[in-house]
């Protein structure tokens, strides 16, 4: 049922930062997938590159504190809905020293 | 067949490996590995040669890194390395231990996991969370971390852990049930009439003496201790040391009476080596007396510290001793601490040092 829902979900473009893709050999900076929400998009990424979901989302579950996800120019949450053709940006926040 | 000695170094920005032959005079440094993640602890399985790195990245959370080719290539995983939904997520992996192929990982907030597939997936040792004192555990300066992991070499059920600042805990049944092992250790930061509590001590480092599994040594925030009964009772062995404060302790590979420490100048004076002069302190008699070892170490204007996991010995004879500083210098002795060389400098702040001896 979940698979059927994903098949029917909108096609979206996910943009990933290099600092994330280098952790998963072969992962490109732009990924097309079908997802109705940010959480489903993260699930889709994790399906293709096992473990990538853990890097973006913690066990709360929530988007990690120093990761920002933007959809349509606005900061998103896991439950944020994705419209067809939208771009979802995964970005690392400014942190570290 | 010749042997190679690898010194495994965890730093604030990646793992490094310093490598030499058994003479341990010239060293080659490789790294940084693990995509420059903060790597709190790097250990090796002496049986397989697999190297594991424990880390936590501000962006991407906790993971254990692995290399099966002595550091040439690395992968990472955190599959199963999580508490239940709704609980405080794991921030970082702090400590690793390997026994008979099973890998243990201590994490922040304090908890214990193990892996039976070389770090691909992890299982929570839930019994520790069920300890009745768990709701009252308080974090130390680095957070509520499980930083010391002592695995009994022969009995797979027995584990000791050190948690800052909850103290020492022991299980004899593989992690189902745990008991506190803090009797005799001080908590100077508590009210005067409560300085020997059942738990809540700030243990800094816990190690086991070789060949004598009931003997443990403990560097504590408040003193240096030895136990000869598996931690049921601790006795102070700090007389003769320049300070009761320090972080690391490193056991000799064969002599249960020999231990290496690196005392610092106290907890409110910068936590530097005392008087700006670096020294490793060694006992040959189980802590009854101590000798400072300085030859080759900086003896003026040294304002660095050495963290809890940043000193180790190797298994060669004579034993090598190694420590890494908060200022990013790695020091090595090939003769049990008598003479020292700085074998790498200008590294990121060093968080851990361990060793691996491999046949060429």
CATH number at residue B183: 2.130.10.10
Residue B329 placed within a domain:
no
Tell me the pLDDT band of A5, cut-offs 50, 70 and 90: low
Residue A97 placed within a domain:
no
Q: Please check the confidence at residue A97 and state whether its pLDDT lies above 70.
A: no
pLDDT at B1: 64
Give the CATH number for residue A35. Answer: 3.10.20.30
Residue B120 placed within a domain:
yes
| Torsion sign (Cα): B266, B267, B273, B279 | positive
Q: Please check the confidence at residue A20 and state whether its pLDDT lies above 80.
A: yes
pLDDT at A8: 81
Range of the domain at B181: 45-314
pLDDT tens per residue, range B112-153: 999 999 999 999 999 999 999 999 999 988 899 999 999 999
Q: ipTM score of the complex?
A: 0.91
B263 vs A10, which has greater pLDDT?
A: B263
Residue B213 placed within a domain:
yes
Which regions of chain B are under pLDDT 70?
A: 1
Percentage above 70 pLDDT, chain B = 100
pLDDT tens per residue, range B268-289: 999 999 999 999 999 999 999 9
Residues of B in contact with A92 (CB under 8 A): 59
Give the closest of B35, B59, B84 to A92, CB-based. Answer: B59
Residue B356 placed within a domain:
no
Mean pLDDT of A68-78: 96
Tell me the pLDDT band of A6, cut-offs 50, 70 and 90: low
DSSP B142-186: TBSEEEEEEE-SS-TT-EEEEEETTEEEEESSTTSS-EE--TT--
B212 vs A96, which has greater pLDDT?
A: B212
pLDDT at A94: 82
- How many distinct helices (H) and strands (E) make up chain B? 0, 28
pLDDT at B142: 86
- Do residue A66 and residue B59 have CB atoms under 8 angstroms apart? yes
Residue A53 placed within a domain:
yes
- Do residue A93 and residue B59 have CB atoms under 8 angstroms apart? yes
pLDDT at B141: 86
For chain A, the domain total comes to: 1
Range of the domain at A56: 2-92
Cα separation, B39 vs B14, in Å, equals 6
A66 → chain B, closest CA residue: B59
- Considering only CA atoms, which of A37, A86, A42, A85 is closest in space to residue A64? A42
Residue B17 placed within a domain:
no
Residue A37 placed within a domain:
yes
Residue B196 placed within a domain:
yes
Percentage above 90 pLDDT, chain A = 82
Residue B8 placed within a domain:
no
Give the closest of A23, A64, A96 to B35, CB-based. Answer: A23
What one-character DSSP code corresponds to residue B244? S
Residue B22 placed within a domain:
no
For chain B, the domain total comes to: 1
pLDDT at A96: 62
For B109, the token pair is 């907030």
Residue A52 placed within a domain:
yes
């Amino acid at each position: 049922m979940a698979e059927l829902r994903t098949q029917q979900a909108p096609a979206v473009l996910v943009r990933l930062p290099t600092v994330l893709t280098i952790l998963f050999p072969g992962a490109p900076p732009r990924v097309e997938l079908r997802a109705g929400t940010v959480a489903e998009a993260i699930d889709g990424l994790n399906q293709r590159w096992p473990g990538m979901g853990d890097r973006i989302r913690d066990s709360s579950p929530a988007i990690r504190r120093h990761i920002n996800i933007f959809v349509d120019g606005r900061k998103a949450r896991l439950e944020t809905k994705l419209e067809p053709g939208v771009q979802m940006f995964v970005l690392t926040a400014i942190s570290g020293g | 067949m010749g042997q190679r000695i690898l010194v495994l170094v965890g730093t604030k920005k990646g793992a490094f490996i310093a490598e030499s032959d058994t003479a341990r005079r010239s060293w080659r440094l490789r790294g940084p590995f693990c995509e420059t993640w903060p790597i709190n602890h790097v250990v090796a399985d002496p049986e397989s040669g697999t190297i594991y790195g424990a880390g936590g990245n501000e962006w991407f959370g906790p993971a254990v890194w692995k290399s099966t080719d002595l550091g040439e290539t690395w992968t990472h995983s955190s599959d199963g390395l999580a508490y239940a939904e709704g609980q405080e997520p794991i921030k970082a992996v702090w400590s690793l231990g390997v026994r008979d192929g099973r890998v243990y990982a201590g994490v922040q907030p304090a908890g214990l996991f193990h892996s039976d597939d070389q770090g691909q997936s992890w299982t929570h040792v839930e019994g520790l969370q069920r300890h009745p004192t768990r709701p009252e555990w308080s974090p130390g300066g680095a957070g509520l971390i499980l930083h010391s992991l002592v695995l009994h070499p022969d009995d797979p059920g027995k584990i000791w852990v050190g948690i800052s600042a909850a103290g020492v805990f022991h299980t004899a049944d593989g992690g189902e049930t745990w008991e506190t092992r803090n009797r005799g250790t001080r908590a100077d930061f508590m009210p005067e009439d409560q300085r020997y509590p059942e738990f809540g001590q700030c243990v800094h480092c816990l190690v086991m003496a070789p060949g004598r599994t009931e003997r443990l040594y403990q560097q504590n925030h408040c003193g240096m201790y030895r136990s000869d009964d598996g931690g049921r009772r601790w006795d102070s062995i700090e007389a003769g040391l320049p300070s009761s404060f320090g972080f690391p302790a490193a056991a000799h590979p064969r002599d249960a009476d020999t231990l290496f420490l690196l005392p610092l100048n106290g907890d409110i004076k910068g936590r530097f080596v005392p008087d700006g002069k670096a020294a490793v302190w060694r006992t040959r008699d189980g802590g009854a007396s101590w000798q400072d070892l300085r030859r080759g170490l900086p003896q003026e204007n040294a304002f660095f510290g050495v963290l809890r996991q940043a000193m180790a010995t190797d298994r060669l004879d004579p034993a090598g001793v190694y420590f890494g500083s908060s200022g990013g210098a790695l020091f090595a002795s090939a003769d049990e601490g008598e003479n020292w060389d700085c074998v790498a400098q200008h590294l990121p702040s060093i968080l851990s040092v361990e060793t691996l001896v491999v046949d060429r």
